[in-house]
Structure 1
């Protein structure tokens, strides 16, 4: 049986359409199986307690095989994305930067923490996941 990857996608909630597009891209491949660990607008951690939210996110990040970080320039303005990526480094969860379709520039918040940055291409993303997952 093929491995099912546990993926945490670090993203900006203001650009959740890019998150959905990435999930759809990966899910469209019949030979690739993944579950997703991140919190989303549709499935948030319902708490205003920042410490609790960070605790829950840290567990999700630590339990993941890999972090996919959406590397659009908007990531440079997200303190939560920076925190998630720093937590991933601390916990030893590899980070792959995914450059959103059509983006020319990428966030240094992502590129300075990732093991590799890949373009918006299904095969490139899946190859990076397989090569760098725990």
Structure 2
């Protein structure tokens, strides 16, 4: 069975998103379907309300929303929107500390059902625990 995931990201700063997806893709004991739209399939310019609609459409069917803590400073409004929407429809949120980070943004910690370290075992175990 495949777990449906939304990995929070920004097309302008897609390195961590790509690293997360690659990490999960290389996990031989974990199957997932990625509901996030990567930079290569970006929507282009659109009004903010339309972007919110697109994000909601991506989050509705998932089992878990993953928030990478290190992206908070640059994209807090959009990340807050994703976390708030996930919570409003009872989707669990997994906070992931970036590699080498000891702290997480408080807002991400508070919105997360669980916060884990950046490694495949912790992330997969966290997803399984909260879904």
| Residues 10, 85 of structure 1: 8 Å contact kept | no
Q: Is the 8 A contact 1:66 1:96 kept in 2?
A: yes
Residue of structure 1 in register with 2:124 after alignment? 126
Work out the CA distance in 1 between the residues paired with 2:24 and 2:110. 24
Structure 2 gaps of 5+ residues are: none
SS in structure 1 of the partner of residue 14 of structure 2: helix
SS in 2 for 1:86: helix
Matched, 1:49 2:65: no
- TM score, norm. by length of structure 2: 0.91
Unaligned runs of 5+ in 1: none
Per the TM alignment, residue 14 of structure 1 is displaced from its structure 2 partner at its CA by 4.0
The Cα of 1:19 is off from its aligned counterpart by: 0.8
- Is the Cα–Cα contact under 8 Å of residues 11 and 42 in structure 2 kept in the other structure? no
Q: Cα distance, 1:76 vs. partner?
A: 3.6
TM-score of the two chains, using structure 1 as the length reference: 0.89
C-alpha RMSD of the superposition: 1.5
Correspondence list, 1:1-80, <5 A? 3-72=1-70, 74-78=71-75, 79-80=77-78
1:37–1:61 contact (8 Å) kept in structure 2: yes
Q: Which residue of 1 aligns with 2:109?
A: 111
Corresponding residue to 1:93 among 91, 113, 121: 91
CA contact (8 A) 2:96 2:123 kept: yes
Aligned residues: 130
Q: Distance in 1 between matches of 2:56 and 2:45?
A: 15
How far off its partner does 1:47 sit?
Answer: 4.2
Conserved 8 A contact 2:64-2:91: yes
Q: How far apart, in 2, do the equivalents of 1:45 and 1:20 lie? A: 18
